[in-house]
Structure 1
Amino acid sequence: MVTATNPVQFGVFLSPQSIDIGRLREQVQTAETAGMDYVSIQDHPYVPVFLDTFALIGTLIGETERLRFMPNVANLPLRPPAMLAKTSATLDLLSGGRFELGLGGGYNWPGIVGMGGPHLTPGQVVTAVDEAISVLRALWTPGHKINLQGKQYAVEAETGPAPAHDIGIWLGAMGPRMLDLLGRRANAWIAPMGTGYETKPAAQNRIDTAATAAGRRPTEIRRVIQLVGSVTDRAITTERPRTGPGNQPIRTTPEYWARIIAEFVHQERFDTVNFILEHDSIEQITRFATEVVPAARAAIAQGAGDHGTRH
């Protein structure tokens, strides 16, 4: 087993709702003030009530000083990689290096096709993401002219601008070929909520194997666990989920949250926690940031996760 060595980070996952933009801004300001590391925002352009994720991130970057932002995950079929490279580099420059690129190959094909995008087969999705990574990284290295003629993307352009920092490409991936690609080329794995908890250890191992075969250290790749739930005063959930859907809610006290997170870090090798609000609540962001995160950091430092109950 490869041991996680990256500093543990905590983020909050938000929806780009247009219904109450003021509340969305308040959620982000709460995350900033309370000390969260980043905010990730889902990207589903075909949802009528959703704002454009990248325009929203650009606005929120200008209203914050410390938080990092990422789409979770950018809809590649509707965002061609050359323009995605330009937009990402721009956001990173405007924020002084506070942008990371969460990237996905597409899922809701009726919605994507309805907005003029292609309908790709699973194999074409892997090819598209692979080629997109090449385009993105080439265009982020200024001073060259590239001519990349792929099966899904053909790009002939001068490169630049360079982002403010090396933008990480964080892939939402679940199939074997995509996990192999991730291990070879990406910077982080965003474990999808749609996959069962019991599938995650094998996925971790597959990423490690692909990374090692490509001459990379598996610890270079961040691993993001997405946890849906609520911070409560009474412990309903007392153990971390090991089987069943990845979106099952965890409803428990800060103490149990800390223990559960420490187990995910020590036993499952996740180094990034994405908190997904079960109920839209400013109070929940505050409680998670100010009560759960410090307790989780202490439990991780003490190795508490190594002593969790096993079944």
Structure 2
Amino acid sequence: MLYPDQPVPVLVDRLRYLEGLGFDQVFLPDHAADLRGLGSHWFDSWSVLATAALATERIRIGTMVANQILRPPAQLAKQAIALDHLSGGRFELGIGAGLFAWDHHSVGQLPWPPKERAERFADYVAIVDGVLRGGVFSHRGARLWVQDVVTVPGSLQSPRLPITVGGQSPTLIRVAAGYAESWNTHGPPGASAAEVIAITAEQNRRLDRLATEAGRDPAAIRRSYTIFGPWDPRRGRHGYEEVFERFAGAGVSEFVLDWPGEAHQEEFERVAREVIPALRDN
């Protein structure tokens, strides 16, 4: 996970550094400002992703996660298609329901109630999925609709570029079961380390059931954990090896590491060069 919180030349250096370390993917968040401090340096992530597409050659790029608050779904899908072509078919679109009031305020709207947020998200992903496939697409849902959206070309990847659904609510997990190639979680905020493991395992089982009900093979949906909260190795209680082992037991096969900061860079490089390649080979 790379934050767009540095001058562009520094971000380019970091992108190439991550590619050189052998990571499979690099993701950027999607907010109107830095959630860690609203007055901080912060570029538009989609513009940085365009730079990433041109500054790298192998590493896959994407959003973790695109924010339904900030742009209409058909427009988001067309942005993703452009980046898929710009990167030579290396783009992955993570989508989330959004949450923060200041994201709503940045586009001139009041925050949505939870029921509306969930209904919008179900329609939002359905529209994104349809537009990504190219051609002419219409959808009329509970909250959102589009009519005769013409998309030429569609995704460079076939039948469309991959979608990740990020989030933990029952609605988001159901949407992931119906549409996503990957589901991402960072665990419930405020939960203990043991609770995060247990809840993630149960959510994975629920995703399996819902995917089967939707006529999909549960094994076709990758499971991803963004290392966060009590499991963050930078807190000093759990090492990366323990995180990978414990969450693999809960059904997770992919991990998103945060940018390490100078104090933790040596450990970050060790894990990238020594630990992750051995796990990937298994």
TM-score when scaled to structure 2?
0.85
Q: Does 1:133 align with 2:121?
A: no
**CA-CA distance at 1:126 after TM superposition:** 1.9
Q: For residue 279 of structure 1, what is the amino acid of its counterpart?
A: G
**CA-CA distance at 1:79 after TM superposition:** 1.4
Q: Is the 8 A contact 1:183 1:211 kept in 2?
A: yes
**Matched residue, 2:261:** 279
**Matched residue, 1:249:** 232
**Matched residue, 1:5:** none
Q: For residue 152 of structure 2, what is the amino acid of its counterpart?
A: G
Q: 2:176 aligns with which of 177, 182, 188?
A: 182
Q: For residue 83 of structure 1, what is the amino acid of its counterpart?
A: Q
Q: Is the 8 A contact 2:186 2:227 kept in 1?
A: no
Query: Is the alpha carbon distance of 1:168 and 1:138 closer, same or farther for their aligned partners in structure 2, counting shifts above 3 Å?
Result: same
Distance 2:33 2:241 in 1: 36
Q: For residue 75 of structure 1, what is the amino acid of its counterpart?
A: N
Q: Is the 8 A contact 2:15 2:55 kept in 1?
A: no
TM-score when scaled to structure 1?
0.78
**CA-CA distance at 1:291 after TM superposition:** 2.3
Q: SS of the residue aligned with 1:17?
A: coil
Q: Does 1:31 align with 2:14?
A: no
**Matched residue, 2:250:** 268
Q: SS of the residue aligned with 2:31?
A: coil
For these two proteins, the number of residue pairs brought into alignment is: 266
**Matched residue, 1:73:** 65
Larger helix share, 1 or 2:
2
Q: For residue 185 of structure 2, what is the amino acid of its counterpart?
A: A
Structure 1 gaps, min length 5: 1-12, 229-245, 302-311
* RMSD (Å) for aligned C-alpha atoms: 2.4
**Matched residue, 2:272:** 289
Distance 2:219 2:199 in 1: 20
Structure 2 gaps, min length 5: none
Residues 1-311 of structure 1 aligned to structure 2 (within 5 Å): 13-18=1-6, 20-47=7-34, 49-144=41-136, 146-156=137-147, 157-165=149-157, 166-195=160-189, 196=191, 197=196, 198-228=198-228, 246-251=229-234, 257-265=240-248, 267-280=249-262, 283=266, 285-297=268-280, 301=282
Q: SS of the residue aligned with 1:14?
A: coil
Higher relative contact order (Cα pairs below 8 Å, separated by 6+ residues): 1
Moved over 4 A (4+): 280-285
Q: For residue 205 of structure 2, what is the amino acid of its counterpart?
A: N
Q: Is the 8 A contact 2:80 2:93 kept in 1?
A: yes
**CA-CA distance at 1:215 after TM superposition:** 1.2
**CA-CA distance at 1:26 after TM superposition:** 1.8
